Structure 1
Amino acid sequence: MNWITQLFLTALILNLLIEVWLNIKNQFHIGLHRNQVPQEFSEVVTLEAHQKAADYSRAKLQLGRLALFYDAAILAFMTLGGGFQELHNLWQQTQLEPIWRDVAFLLSTLWFLSVLHLPFSVMSTFKIEAEFGFNRTTAGKFVSDLFKQWALMLALGLPLIWAIVWIMNAYFEQAWWLYTWLVWMAFQLVIMWAYPKWIAPIFNKFTPLEDEAMKTRIQNLLARTGFESNGIYVMDGSSRSGHGNAYFTGFGKNKRIVFFDTLLEKLTPDEVEAVLAHELGHFKHGHIKQRLIESTALSFIGLALLGWLAQQPQFYTGLGMSTQSPAVALLLFMTAVPMMFFFLGPIMAIKSRKHEFEADAFAAEQVGAQHLVSALLKMYRDNASTLTPDPSYSAYHDSHPPAKIRIDHLNALPTNTQDISLEVKHDDNR
């Protein structure tokens, strides 16, 4: 057993053990607090809603635990078990040109992996989401979305993978990874620019916000914060789910602000403005730029690492491949290598939670902490988000702070001068 195999198996098993332990610990912790609403939330969240959130979270954890074992088994089989090698052999028997054989091998393998994970998507949508009243997706729409995703993967992935494979073959003995990195970054920027106007509408309907009072309020907020937007839109999120959200997307002058219609139905204008102010806080603090820079640096380091690994015979044999080629190296890099760096996930989560606190503080400065608190309380309730996650699980996984910690942080901000309990007692929507 060479060192690559040892490293891969160690990472695979260690990651599985940690994830399963945290999963079970979280499920137990949520169940332990199922029958009592935390005092901080008792004005807004009823015991029935709290129990629904607990049961919903535990159901997702059960399915997630099954997926952990399934994913580990699939990855082990496709690598050490020879699955990738068999797929490669099938394409080598065709009469296609070598570069097209490599491209077809990569695309078909990625598609095959997505098909293998399809049962969990079906169970999540039509069992768990439906059981708890969130799913609004029909079987026809689910299949239609699936084919759209595959078509998009083909339309975008085909030219990108062809270009990368061509570069790898043409400059394999040189700094091919540097040229690949430049192509990848250009592709990322184009997708960020094109997503709001050309890609997102493939799956959802976006209409300009019609509420003039709400639009004026948002435009005033944008002017105060120095944010330029190419439009304020409402997305038909209710056509697929009962969950609500808001976000801004795009790049350069092609940025858009998007509200789920489900969110606008449940929040007051003050609360909607507070949620948007939080999202703008990420922009104002430069979080988006930071993430882009980090992604740029990580992709540079990752491809440089691949440039070295691709020259090592043990890299291929250690992950179950007898064939050594640029296409095989790229596939292993996308599927197996990330497992060896699973420990980066919790580190990124810590930084993400810090960003969330900063964005909350920005929203409090702009519209008042009490409005964001009341919006969050409603969103926790209406989205059936657990109020009592296990601290260890949350610290390891969550990109957002737990509900209690986040609310306490907002209430402690100096701009928050009102008692939120007075704000939520008369909420007719509770």
Structure 2
Amino acid sequence: MQPSSVMLAFAAALLAALAVKFWLATRQMRHVAQHRDQVPAPFAGTVTPEAHRKAADYTLAKGRFGLLTTAFGSAVLLGWTLLGGLDALNTLLRDALMADYGPMAYQLALLAAFALIGGLIELPLEWYATFRIEQRFGFNRMTPRLWLADLLKGVLVGAVIGLPLAALILWIMGATGGLWWLWAWGAWVAFNLVLLVLYPTVIAPLFNKFEPLPDEALQVRVQALMQRCGFAAKGLFVMDGSKRSAHANAYFTGLGAAKRVVFFDTLLSRLSPGEVEAVLAHELGHFKHKHVLQRMLLIFGFSLAGLALLGWLAGQSGFYAGLGVSPNLAAPNDALALLLFMLALPPFTFFIGPLMSQWSRRHEFQADAYACAQADGSALASALLKLHEDNASTLTPDPLYVRFYYSHPPASERLAALPQPHRPLAATP
């Protein structure tokens, strides 16, 4: 493998991805701006002009900020790779730690330092998105103190979970020979399955409060729906999402006996009981069609292919040199290979995004159809309209942008696809 070939392929993929991202983003912003002042005819009786303009302005603000973050992220990526940032960090830590503390300490320090520096670089952008864009449109409810507390908790949880996992993977890479990637994949899969069990009861409560659903009538309604659908959960909970954001949501979390249903308090305050039931029926549709299992298996399959590819690349000197790094043959380069692969892969995988988006949108249509069979389709339609309005989702996205990025169908397509008896866009109560 020639370093020049690696460099050329990486640079070409990065530039192509950047060009497509800018092209799609500008298309989206032009299309939304052109339709800003006119509510689409199917929604004329249900969405106010003010709500439509707010959604357009919110989309445009996020689009402009997205152009900045995309350009900035590409520059940072170049800085880490071809401009020598990762090489300099690796040399510094290797020279400072390798002799006195051993190869494992040096490699863990490299991974931790990379994550810390990367997080610090992105911090101003995250702050601006929260306290400028989300604040401007009335969605942010976080205080600077809560934002900082979340940040510190996230770093602590990441260290407690990430460092032992990284140590295990590095040990496997160094101790299990040429098929290390297969053993590493098994460890990664096991870790994710354990995390699915622990997240609802151990990790999530560090950031939010979860209380049993207090509305007894709604409890009975939801439990009857789950019984009809053959779904068992450990509990029904309300999460205090309103302390961070005005956005609303509901989700399932956990695995096996640890599964639970979680409603944002913002969702319950906005939707009627029938609409809550319909939204939950949609989520149960994903369960019934095994969408979550399919996505999990796909992720595991991609991770296996990726680790197998890394297993080959890690032994190629051109892989390192072509991405701006000079490995030291006297030291282990496992952490370096992991970081380089993580940095170099996204520009290439970006182009399979439309296939994944299409697959996800198909799942959403299937879940909607299931919800209409188990609950009131008109309630689902009104709930979707309310959620689109509350989240300021534009009703007039660019069709090509939708095909490339949208994991959920736009409102017009989604509502039009509901079964015929529930298709009319009746006014929301």
Range of TM-score over shorter length: over 0.9
| 1:419 Cα deviation after fit | 4.3
Q: Is contact 2:62–2:133 with CA below 8 Å preserved after alignment?
A: yes
Farther-moved stretch of structure 1 (305-314 vs 331-340): 331-340
Instruction: Give me the whole-angstrom Cα distance separating, in 2, the residues matched to 1:420 and 1:59.
Output: 28
Q: Which of 158, 170, 174 is the equivalent residue of 1:153?
A: 158
Aligned to 2:79: 77
Aligned to 1:322: 326
Pairwise CA RMSD: 1.1
Give deviations 1:219-240, integer Å, cap 9, x for gaps.
Answer: 0000000001010000001000
Aligned to 2:29: 27
Aligned partner of residue 159 in structure 1, secondary structure = helix
Q: What is the letter of the counterpart of residue 7 of structure 2?
A: T
Aligned to 2:90: 88
Aligned partner of residue 160 in structure 1, secondary structure = helix
**1:383 aligned onto 2:383:** no
Aligned to 2:401: 393
Aligned partner of residue 178 in structure 2, secondary structure = coil
Q: What is the letter of the counterpart of residue 310 of structure 1?
A: A
Give the 3 Å change call, closer, same or farther, for CA 296–418 of structure 1 in structure 2.
closer
**1:358 aligned onto 2:362:** no
Aligned partner of residue 336 in structure 1, secondary structure = helix
**1:122 aligned onto 2:122:** no
Q: Is contact 1:206–1:236 with CA below 8 Å preserved after alignment?
A: yes
| 1:96 Cα deviation after fit | 2.0
Structure 1: gaps spanning 5 or more residues? none
| 1:162 Cα deviation after fit | 0.4
Q: What is the letter of the counterpart of residue 127 of structure 2?
A: V
Give the 3 Å change call, closer, same or farther, for CA 417–408 of structure 1 in structure 2.
closer
Aligned to 1:408: 416
Q: Which of 254, 260, 277 is the equivalent residue of 1:250?
A: 254
Aligned to 2:167: 162
Instruction: Give me the whole-angstrom Cα distance separating, in 1, the residues matched to 2:341 and 2:112.
Output: 14
**1:229 aligned onto 2:233:** yes
Aligned to 1:105: 110
| 1:147 Cα deviation after fit | 0.5
Q: Is contact 2:43–2:425 with CA below 8 Å preserved after alignment?
A: no
Q: Which of 292, 296, 304 is the equivalent residue of 1:292?
A: 296
Q: What is the letter of the counterpart of residue 106 of structure 1?
A: L
Q: TM-score, normalised by structure 2?
A: 0.96
Q: Is contact 2:364–2:409 with CA below 8 Å preserved after alignment?
A: yes
| 1:112 Cα deviation after fit | 1.2
Q: Which of 8, 14, 18 is the equivalent residue of 1:12?
A: 14
Farther-moved stretch of structure 1 (222-231 vs 108-117): 108-117
Aligned partner of residue 242 in structure 1, secondary structure = coil
| 1:121 Cα deviation after fit | 0.8
Instruction: Give me the whole-angstrom Cα distance separating, in 2, the residues matched to 1:419 and 1:303.
Output: 49
**1:62 aligned onto 2:67:** no
Instruction: Give me the whole-angstrom Cα distance separating, in 2, the residues matched to 1:41 and 1:378.
Output: 12
Instruction: Give me the whole-angstrom Cα distance separating, in 2, the residues matched to 1:80 and 1:357.
Output: 43
Identity %: 48
Q: What is the letter of the counterpart of residue 155 of structure 1?
A: V
Give the 3 Å change call, closer, same or farther, for CA 417–330 of structure 1 in structure 2.
closer
| 1:21 Cα deviation after fit | 0.6
Instruction: Give me the whole-angstrom Cα distance separating, in 2, the residues matched to 1:232 and 1:118.
Output: 34
Aligned to 2:378: 370
| 1:6 Cα deviation after fit | 1.0
Runs of 4+ in 1 over 6 A off after TM superposition: none
Q: What is the letter of the counterpart of residue 195 of structure 2?
A: I
| 1:79 Cα deviation after fit | 0.5
| 1:91 Cα deviation after fit | 1.1
Instruction: Give me the whole-angstrom Cα distance separating, in 2, the residues matched to 1:258 and 1:7.
Output: 44
**1:333 aligned onto 2:344:** no
Instruction: Give me the whole-angstrom Cα distance separating, in 2, the residues matched to 1:418 and 1:10.
Output: 46
